[in-house]
Amino acid sequence: MTPVAGSAPLFREHGTRACENGGATLRSPGLTVTDSVLHTFQVRTRSREELVDITSDVAALVSAHGGHGIATVFVPHTSAAVTINENADRDVQRDMLFWLKKLIPESGEFRHAEGNSDAHIKASLVGNSVTVPFVDGRMRLGTWQGIYFCEFDGPRARRAEVMLR
Ligand code: ZN
């Protein structure tokens, strides 16, 4: 993805790409800014709590961008999050969701009337962004590391944003 030339509009749309990933549908219509690239993924989750592997989508953006820098993956929601963890054994994802649920049950002593306080708390515990350095268009993830969108109050249409600099 080449940066937009000086006289071009500030934002430029990329094509839409769709793929199946962990049961959720991802789409990546991106926006290019002059000296950096911001992409927005649509993440369609299918259950109340779910981890969606978005590694290959972020890797494709980094590869197209090339060069060296830092990829920031940001989730602009208050009941969803993003994390980096093991991608080899799916039981790790199951265990993370299982123990978060044990730690913060869905029903309990909550005041927030929307009924999703557990999701808000889980989102803050896990966090809203991760950063990954990249060199020559390749992320420096460890062998067993994957990037996971974390749904805590689905199913919903969600977004994840990726900034490359
Ligand atoms: Zn709420």
Are 58 and 21 a contacting pair, CB within 8 Å?
no
Distance from the CA of 163 to the center of ligand 1, in angstroms? 27
Ligand 1 geometric centre to CA of 45 (Å): 17
Kindly give the distance from the C-alpha atom of residue 59 to the centroid of ligand 1, in angstroms, as a whole number.
32
The side-by-side arrangement of strands in the sheet containing 80-86 is 50-53, 145-151, 80-86
- Strand-pairing partners, residue 27, are 18, 42
Per-residue model confidence (pLDDT) at position 60? 93
Single-letter residue type at 55: T
CATH top-level class of 18-164:
mainly beta
Extended strands (E) in 45-144: 50-53, 69-74, 80-86, 129-135, 138-139
Is the preceding omega at residue 155 within 30 degrees of 0, hence cis? yes
pLDDT score at 22: 41
Q: How far is the CA of 120 from the centre of ligand 1 (A)?
A: 7
Give every residue of the chain whose pLDDT is below 50, as ranges: 1-23, 34
Ligand 1 center from residue 26 Cα (angstroms): 24
pLDDT score of 38: 87
